[in-house]
Structure formats: structure tokens, C-alpha cells
Amino acid sequence: MRPGHDFLMSYIKRNGNSKMRFLGVILFLVLTVFGFILSAYLILNASTVYMYVLAVLFLVLSTVSGLFNIATSYWYYRSYFYGRHLRDISKSLRPMSHFPTVAIAMPTFNEDPAMVEKNMLRLKSLNYPKGKLRFYLLDDSTDDEKGKELAAFSRRNNIVYLHRDERRGYKAGALNNMLRGSREEFVAIFDYDEYLTNRNFLLDTMPYFQDDELSYIQTEKRYSNGTFFSETINLFDGFFFKFVQPARALNNTAIFAGSCGVIRRKALDVIGGFPEYVIEDTFFSFESDINKYKSLYLPRVYALGKPIRSFSELAKQQWRYNYGDTQFLRYFIERKTKSKKLMSTLSKIDYMTHGFGLNYLSSVLLLFTITSILIVFSTYPISHISIRQLISPTYLNMELELFGMGALIISIITPILLTKLYFGSAKKGFMVFLVNFALVFVRTKAALSAVLNLNPQHKWVRSSGGRSGSVIAAMQNSAFEIGFAALLFLLGSSALLIDNLSGGLWLLWYGLLYSSTFYFFYRYG
């Protein structure tokens, strides 16, 4: 039987239907159209240089947002066909007659030794010829006691223990240090907090490497169950693994996500090891593509990571992601000459949108907010709707600014509806919407740090020490967002006092969205 045959059949059946996908695509496209109509309205009603500048800025932001929405709708619809594509690939696979050697690597840095040891021992139970496996614990810990405990554990369990005194190159540096002394044909990577749930990981993935041009296989990553918040964050990442990864895999640009995957050693040697950046996985995926290797995504969970239980933990994770994505965006642009020759147009679009993704969810949202403030206090008719005008049938039938309200409503409905359809919870969908606004400043500051070449550990990243239920800790961790929300509330109230209903409600709504940062720190720590 082909590896994972029953799973593939199940995946195809539960992957929804094309009509459901069309609904999602329509929502994304309507949101895009509404943004362009509102931009057109602003330009047509501009009467001064100041108003024209605002209109053009809004058009630029709407264009960027529109392109991202189009890319998202493309990924979302295209992912529907991935199960059949994977089934067709599996049909050509032959039973394995040769089992290649595999290095099982686990990088760690000042983590709980008990968790590291439990998860490493679980990896040693993998269903695969034992003589073909070698286990590596890559310990960059600066805590001497933890280092000694992990070294002793490794000696007892026939695990190669590698320790570096200087953590140069982050996780990539630790992996490259291992590569210099290992000779295995493949490398499988697991993070310290990932507990193996399916011991057939290698038996299912290795047959696909019968294709000599295949560089790596990435499997689906997921956190174990926890609180309502941590399960929502699972969905936060779930959109990427359920829709983006399958669609990208059809273009041969599936992203290696850093763990729960297998890489061909020859490909690593050609590329020169892992690029030593904060998010080495994205850089490695890009270099693999440039070197004309194939990649594959297997939408099956083989290990569960530790759930994210606090908002400060999520903020630190998103800081690292956005810092790395911004670095990658610059790297991608600098490498455009080589990539232009070796990459398809779809590949370039995939990598550009990936690097820009979190920046879109932060910087562009922030710029939209600032532009909205300027529009509300301009002389646009959109910024001066009174209650009398709002209830006037003539006014409702003639004015285009209602498209702006429509765009806002659809931007809320889209994640809620998609989460309800595919994950069974509209409530979690609304939380995903709020979390994106709550993280705007975290991501924006991370992007700015990367642009300025500041250290990734710069003090702009907020501490994870805040505890849930503490007003003082929540205020300390969200001081900037509280100040910005207070400004929006003040400006919104001022607009209402001068009979500017639409402008006032617009800014008050934004104020509520940005104040959610305080709520999340207070509620979840």
C-alpha cells in the first residue's frame, strides 16, 4: 500500500467543496472592490492638494491590500485541489527497498530539560531501522546546570550532544554546526517542545524522496490542546497550513517551517547549509527553490507542540516572525537578479507575499488607521454624515461612502465565516480578527527593527513576565497601544460632538480594536 493512502483519501473528502471555496474567494474579492470604490470616491471628491494626497495614499494602501486579498483568495481556492495532486504523486511511489540514514536533530536553548528529555526519548521510538538513525541534541543553553543535565541524559541514551558557547547564527548556526560533523543522508528536525504523536513519520515521508530532485518535505504543524486562547492561536496558524501551504506546494514553493520536516543532505550541501537568519527556514526554502529543487507539503500532523498559553508568548513569537520576514523581504529583493532567471512568476509572487504578509497585517493596518484619522478631520463628505442625513432615503441612495462601511463589515465577517466553515467556531474567528489588531504595534516595531538592522533581541520587544489578571502588568505591556487607543477615543468623541456621526463611529471602532492589546495582556498574561 502507498504511504498514507487512507489518510490521503480522508484528506480529500474532508477538504470541503468547490462551492465553499468560491464563497471565500467572493468575500475576499468584494472586500478588494469596496476598497477601490472608496478610493475612487475620495479622489472624485478631493478639492485641495491636502485632500488629493490623502486620496492617493488611501488608493495606494487599498491597492496593496487588494493585491494581498487577491493572493489570499488564490491560495484559498487553489488549496482545494492539493489532495488530488498529492494522491497522484503517491501513485508513482515504489515500496522502499533501501532505507537511507537519517539524522534526527533537536535544537534547544535554555529550555526545560524534562520536556527536552521526554520529547527526545519519544523520537527514539520512531518506526524505522534503528541502525539507520542517529540522534543529535543541539544545545545552545547558557544555563550551566541545564547543559550538564542534558549532556548526562545524552550520554545515557546514545545521543550526540553538541554544545556551543557562542550562539552565533541562532538555530541555523546550531544546525550548521551539526552538519559539519554528521554524514547522514537526510536530516529530520523537531523542536524541543514537539511530542511525536505518529511514529510512522519517516516511513510516510521518506518514500517521496525517490524523486532525486526533492529537497525537503514539510508536514503540518499544530499545537496540542489547551485553553480557548491557545486553541484560537492554533487556528491562527491553521489558516497557513490548511490553505496557504497546499496552494504553494502546487507551485513548488511550500515553505519549510523549521521543524516536523525532512531535508535531503545533498541539497543542504549545494545551498551551503542553513542561511543564518532569525527565520532560517524561509531563507532555506527560497534558496532551495532558486537552486531548482522541488519541495513537498504533507498535510498530516505527526507531532504536537506546546500550546501558546499567554499573549506575551504570542507577542514574542510574532516579533521574531515579523523581524525575520522583513529581513527576508530585503534578502529577496537583493537576490532578484538571480531569482529572476531561475524562478517562475508564481514563485516570485509566493515569496514576495510571504515576506510581506505580517507587514501587511501590521504596518498597512496602522497606516490605514492614521489615514482614517486624517480623512475624518478633512472636508470630505464622508467625514460629515449627520444622524439626519443617515436616516434620509435620498442620502442613502446617492452617497458612495457607504462602501467604506461595507468594506469594514466584510473585513470582520470574512475571518469569522471562514473559521466557522472550516474550524467550527465563529467565536474563534472573531478573536483571530482582534488578535491581528492587538499585534499591530508589536509587528510594526519588529519590522522597523529589521529595517534598521537592530538586534532581534532589542528591548522594544515586550517582556513575557506579565501575569494574567494584573491590571498594572497589562498596562505596562500595552502602554503604547493604550495611548494610541485613547487618542482614537478622544478624536472619535470630538467628531461626534460636531455632528460627525460616521467619522466619530469610525475612530471609536478603531479605538476599541487597538485597546484589545490591553485586554489580551490582562486576560491571558
Mean pLDDT for the chain? 82
Q: Where are the domains of the chain?
A: 94-354
Whether the pLDDT of residue 397 is over 50: the answer is: no
- CB burial of 442-470 (b: ≥16 within 10 Å; e: otherwise) equals bbbbbbbbbeeeeebeeeebbeeebebee
When pLDDT is cut at 50, 70 and 90, the band that residue 103 belongs to is very high
Give me the percent of the chain exceeding a pLDDT of 90.
32
**What is the spatial distance between Cα 497 and Cα 491, in angstroms, rounded to a whole number?**
10
- Asked whether residue 98 carries a pLDDT value surpassing 80, the answer given is yes
Supply the pLDDT for residue 272. 92
Average pLDDT score over residue span 158-178: 91
Place of cell 529577496: 332
The string of pLDDT tens digits covering residues 234-283 is 887 888 888 889 988 888 888 999 999 999 999 999 999 999 988 899 99
pLDDT confidence band for 362 (50 / 70 / 90): confident
Model confidence at 387, in pLDDT bands (50, 70, 90)? very low
pLDDT for 118-139, tens place per residue?
A: 999 999 999 999 999 999 999 9
Calculate mean pLDDT across residues 380-396.
Answer: 49
Cα–Cα–Cα angle for 296, 302, 307, nearest 5°?
115
For the cut 70, the answer to whether the pLDDT of residue 15 exceeds it is: no
At 489 the pLDDT is 92
Least confident residue range of 14-28, 189-203, 324-338: 14-28
Sorting pLDDT into bands at 50, 70 and 90, what band is 471? confident
Q: What is the mean pLDDT of residues 479-487?
A: 92
Write the pLDDT tens digit of every residue in 430-440. 888 888 889 99
Of residues 444 and 503, more confidence is placed in 444
| Model confidence, pTM | 0.83
Tell me, what's the pLDDT at 165?
A: 82
Distance between CA atoms of 485 and 508, rounded to whole angstroms? 9
Dihedral of alpha carbons 350, 351, 357, 358, sign: positive
Average pLDDT for 387-405: 47
Average pLDDT over residues 90-100: 86
Q: Which of 351, 230, 220 is nearest to 284 (CA)?
A: 351
CATH of domain 94-354: 3.90.550.10
Distances, alpha carbon 242 to alpha carbons 11, 222, 302, in Å: 11, 11, 15
* Residue 293: predicted pLDDT: 92
Between 338 and 216, the more confident residue is 216
| pLDDT at 486 > cutoff 90 | yes
End-to-end C-alpha distance for the chain, whole angstroms:
48
The pLDDT value given to residue 160:
96
Greater confidence (127 vs 475) lies with: 127
Query: Which class for 391: exposed (0-12), middle (13-18), buried (19 or more C-beta within 10 A)?
Result: exposed
pLDDT of residue 400: 42
Q: 401: pLDDT confidence band, cut at 50, 70 and 90? A: very low
What is the rounded CA–CA span in Å between residue 128 and residue 120? 15
- The residues facing 163 across adjacent strands are 139
Q: Which of 304-308, 400-404, 410-414 has the highest mean pLDDT?
A: 304-308
**Range scoring the smallest mean pLDDT among 79-88, 212-221, 511-520:** 79-88
pLDDT of residue 292: 87
